Every structure is written in C-alpha cells, then in structure tokens.
Amino acid sequence: MTIIVTGGAGFIGSNFIFHMLRKDPQYRIVCVDKLTYAGNLSTLESVTGNPNFRFVKLDICDRAGVFALFEEEKPDVVVNFAAESHVDRSIENPEVFLQTNIIGTSVLMDACRKYKAERFHQVSTDEVYGDLPLDCPDLFFTEETPLHTSSPYSSSKAAADLLALSYYRTFGLPVTISRCSNNYGPYHFPEKLIPLMIANALSDKPLPVYGKGENVRDWLYVEDHCKAIDLIIHKGRVGEVYNVGGHNEMKNIDIVKLICKELGKPEGLISFVADRKGHDMRYAIDPTKIHNELGWLPETKFADGIKKTIKWYLENEAWWKPIVSGN
C-alpha cells in the first residue's frame, strides 16, 4: 500500500509516518511537505534511510506538481495534514490560510479523483465547532455539533471539511474526516503552548499566558491521535466525520504551573499577556462514535503524557534549540 502523507515534516504528520512505518514494513510512505517555518527535515532523520520512505518537497497548491506526483506514485491512500495551523498567524494574515487549507485540499482531492485513490483522509480540528462555556462541564462537541468558527484558521479548516464532504456526495470520492483536540508530544513546534513553555522555562525566560489562563483545552497525546487516524483510513466509513479527543481537559494556567513544577522552575516566570482576539474559552470532544465504531480510546493520561513530552524536550535540545534561536 502506498500512502501519501502531506505535511509529513510537521508535528502530527511526522509522528503518523513513524507510527505507520513501525506498524507494517509493507507500507510505502511518500511524505509531501512545502517546508514552511513549521516543517523540519531534521524531524524525519530517523526514517530517511528507510527504503519504504520517500520525501518530496512540494506545495499542495501546486496543481501540476501534485498531479505529476500522483501520476508517478498512484497512491492508495492520501492523508492530508498539510495546513497553516496557528491561530495568531491567521489573524495577522488570513489569506495564506485560505490558500493552503482550502485550495490545497481541493487540489489533492482532484488528484485523488483522477488517479482513483481508495481513500482521502482530511485531518481537521475541533476548533471548527467554536467553543463551549466554562460553566457547562457536561457539554461536549459531537459530530452533530454545528460548525461555529472563531478565527480565520478554524474557518479555513471548516471550509475544507465541507468541501471534502461535497466531493464525497458529488463525485463519490471516498472521503473521511477526523476532528481532533489539541495534540502534544515529540516534535511539537515551539510556538505552541506546551513546547513554548518548556523551552522558555528551561532558559528561565518569561512564560506568556493569554488573559488569566482560564481557557480550557482537551489534550490528546500525538501517538494516540496517529492510532486513531490509522483505524479510520482502514476501517472508517466513507463520508463520515470522527471526533478524536483525549478526555484530558486542562486549564492553560494549570498546564504552565505543572511544567514549572516538573522542571523545578518558579511560577514567578509566568507572565499574563493581553488575550487573543476571539479567544475560544473551552474545547471538549466526545469520542463516543469512534469508540463505538472502531474501538478507539485514548491510551495516554495527561499526567503521563506531559512527563514523556518534557523528557523528550530535555533529551532533544539539538532539535528545538535551532528553531527557537532562528537558525
């Protein structure tokens, strides 16, 4: 089986590649990545010598390039991780997000149609649902929750989801979609909350927290997410959306304090900054559907996953320090 993984030099995409190559040596993985600021070839060093792995530098918006690659590889499955994904950046420059997240997705699906891929899987986000109130802890996002986006980023992802479902209905393209909660783990780009706090704390730099840090997120260990996608592309029903959540809700401020404690750093490093525009208060996913249909449940408790993540960053400074320094 040949699987094209777009955005494979990024955080979740690279972890998915590692998972698939470990799982079955019969898989051929073709990694496509534009290598923007968040894509890092050094992330893939451990698999570059694998005969079943190929890296192609390519922008998914490059229609001619994408079609030429599909002509050559004839992929069975395409998993689309490629996306602009940082909310703050989407507020500063929405157009880049519309181009990559919507147009790029359409290019990939057109190529899947022409070359008859058996599955196109769109990796989406729980942010397409908007947010939940803090005072209603029994409310969760389900696959039936209406889309109610808050940022150019989440709007672009919601648009891509709707486009994918339209390709299923109009063209019969075998599409599946997963909407995940916040991921964490190895190779997480250091602009995101957890790796940023770890990197700054290790350098005794201020730990910037939006508002009062009361925003709640549902945290999903990246390896658990990869296992969920693996199940969906093999056993999931086409035309369906699957929510993938970690059942690990945490306030941002509590995560930052936990990182300080684990690293032996003072909470005095915490610095509260002006809140983000349109900042969602709470995300929480109900993964009942994927559990009932595919048997998936998150395996990693946050208390264990955060320790593994901190340990990884302590042992892999050679990966993240050049990113933080700008080198």
pLDDT by residue, tens only, the chain of 327 residues = 999 999 999 999 999 999 999 998 889 999 999 998 778 899 999 999 999 999 999 999 999 999 999 999 999 999 999 988 666 776 777 888 899 999 999 999 999 999 999 999 999 999 999 999 999 889 999 999 999 998 889 999 999 999 999 999 999 999 999 999 999 999 999 888 999 999 999 999 999 999 999 999 999 999 999 999 999 999 999 999 999 999 899 999 999 999 999 999 999 999 999 988 878 889 999 999 999 999 999 999 999 999 999 999 999 999 999 988 877
d(CA 9, CA 16): 10
Catalytic residue list: 126-127, 153
Tokens (6 digits) for 256: 């930052």
Sequence-distant (6+) residues with CB within 8 A of 311 are none
> What burial class does residue 138 get, using C-beta atoms within 10 Å of its C-beta: 0-12 exposed, 13-18 middle, 19+ buried?
exposed
Q: What is the CB neighbour count within 10 angstroms for residue 271?
A: 11
pLDDT of residue 85: 66
d(CA 253, CA 211): 10
Is the distance from CB of 230 to CB of 20 less than 8 angstroms? Answer: yes
Sequence-distant (6+) residues with CB within 8 A of 34 are 57, 58, 59, 60, 82
pLDDT of residue 190: 87
| Partners of 229 in the β-ladder | none
d(CA 89, CA 95): 10
| Partners of 250 in the β-ladder | 217
Query: What H or E segment, with its residue span, contains residue 55?
Result: strand 53-57
3-state SS assignment for residue 310 = helix
SS3 content of the chain, % helix, strand, coil (to 5): 45, 20, 35
> What DSSP state is assigned to residue 1?
-
Tokens (6 digits) for 110: 């057109």
Sequence-distant (6+) residues with CB within 8 A of 69 are 4, 30, 32, 56, 58, 111
- Block residue for tokens 């909660």: 181
Is the distance from CB of 225 to CB of 81 less than 8 angstroms? Answer: no
Comparing CA positions, the residue from 46, 30, 34 lying closest to residue 78 is: 30
Tokens (6 digits) for 316: 């892999």
Give the predicted TM-score (pTM) of the model.
0.94
d(CA 1, CA 122): 18
Sequence-distant (6+) residues with CB within 8 A of 205 are 269
pLDDT of residue 196: 95
